[in-house]
Structure 1
């Protein structure tokens, strides 16, 4: 992977993980692809438990 892309992804992950709001992302089929620590605390689901699950 290109260095700039890796840096962008690392910066994005750092930002999403430090936000005080619960944030999760899904793919076009409604499967979880990202959940930040605040969303984990709010939902009681861990990243590992939610990853790939239908969240709609």
Structure 2
């Protein structure tokens, strides 16, 4: 969640991999995308557009 505080914009899974210094390989991007989807479901993150996730605004 700290990456979202620093970036202050919606992020794609690829952007999050870059911010976390993960290799931008399909297996890492797809794994990150799956984790983001699991955080969107219960409301920890919002999906502003398909593929873009951001912290919910109060």
The TM-score range, normalised by the shorter chain, is: 0.3 to 0.5
Larger radius of gyration: 1
Determine which structure has greater relative contact order: mean sequence separation of CA pairs < 8 Å that are 6+ residues apart, divided by chain length. Answer: 2
